Amino acid sequence: MMSQLTPTGRTQVKRLPNRASYDSETIYHILDEAFVCHIGFVVEGQPFVIPTGYGRLGDTVYVHGSAASRMLRTLSEGVQVCVTVTLLDGLVLARAVFHHSMNYRSVVILGRARLVEDPEEKMRALEAITNHIVHARWKDARLPTDTELKATSVLALAISEASAKIRTGPPKDDEEDYTLPIWAGVVPLRLVADAPVPDPRLVRGLAPPAYAQKYSR
């Protein structure tokens, strides 16, 4: 299903608009692959950009944190935020310094965060955030207590004012540079998981579950 978001003056990609996408499925795929988002907010005129985990349910992104943190307290007030997610896919070595670049897929979401107060939505959001790290981890782990729930704030941001930007493929050099004897191409990059490191205090004889043994996204 292809559903297109309407670009606004703020999400319309102006530089290299051929790299832009407003397709929801494209945006969701990028959000589902990355682990960390960078969330931007303003305190007394100063922007802060903080890395944090997140989860997605349908057209909503959820983040969580200590109810006591500056970030969560600020965001709970419904201020304007920007959530950005970036996947790095390769180093683009062009013949010209000027055309060096990276292959990447990124998403920018603008809006105002909403504090999740409904207990059922809060629980489903925490499940999404946990399962975003490792699919189906929620059913294996010890679930939150009331005290833990109280200490955790969950914020929701609608994926409505959003855009993706994607660069793929070889370098793009100036026509006259293609005959230069300079190696050009792409060094592909990817995030890999190594063998799991068991907690030193693990109950004896517990084998790592498949998702930790052979982690893949």
Site for its own copies in 188-217 (CB under 8 A): 188-203, 206-209, 212, 215
In the complex, what is the shortest distance from the CB of residue 126 to its own copies, in angstroms, rounded to a whole number? 7
| Region binding its own copies by CB under 8 A among candidate stretches 21-29, 37-45, 55-63, 113-121 | 37-45
Residue identified by tokens 């059922």 is 120
Site residues for its own copies, 110-169, by CB under 8 A, read 110, 126, 130, 133-134, 137-138, 140-145, 148, 152
**Least distance from its own copies to the Cβ atom of residue 210, Å:** 11
> Could you tell me the smallest distance in angstroms from the CB atom of residue 201 to its own copies?
5
Exposed e or buried b per residue across 178-209, where buried means at least 16 C-beta atoms within 10 angstroms of its C-beta: eeeeeebebeeeeeeeeeeeeeeeeeeeeeee
The residue among 28, 163, 9 whose CA lies nearest residue 82 is 163
Measured from the CB atom, is 28 or 104 closer to its own copies? 104
* In the complex, minimum distance from the CB of residue 59 to its own copies, in angstroms, rounded to a whole number: 20
How far is the C-alpha of 125 from the C-alpha of 156, rounded, in Å? 9
Q: Return the residue of 58, 69, 118, 168 that touches its own copies, per CB under 8 A.
A: 69
Q: Which of 17, 32, 78, 80 contacts its own copies by CB under 8 A?
A: 80
74 binds its own copies (CB under 8 A): no
Name the minimum Å distance from CB 15 to its own copies.
5
CA-CA-CA-CA torsion for 116, 118, 120, 126, nearest 10 degrees?
20
Q: What span, in angstroms and rounded, lies between the C-alpha atoms of 41 and 28?
A: 22
Of the candidates 151, 160, 149, the residue with the CA atom closest to the CA atom of residue 114: 160
- Burial tier of 119 (Cβ tally within 10 Å: 0-12, 13-18, 19+): exposed
Q: By CB under 8 A, which span of 18-26, 62-70, 113-121 interacts with its own copies?
A: 62-70
Q: Which is nearer to its own copies, 28 or 83 (CB)?
A: 83
Should residue 95 be labelled a site residue for its own copies when binding is judged by CB under 8 A?
yes
3-state class (DSSP) for residue 93: strand
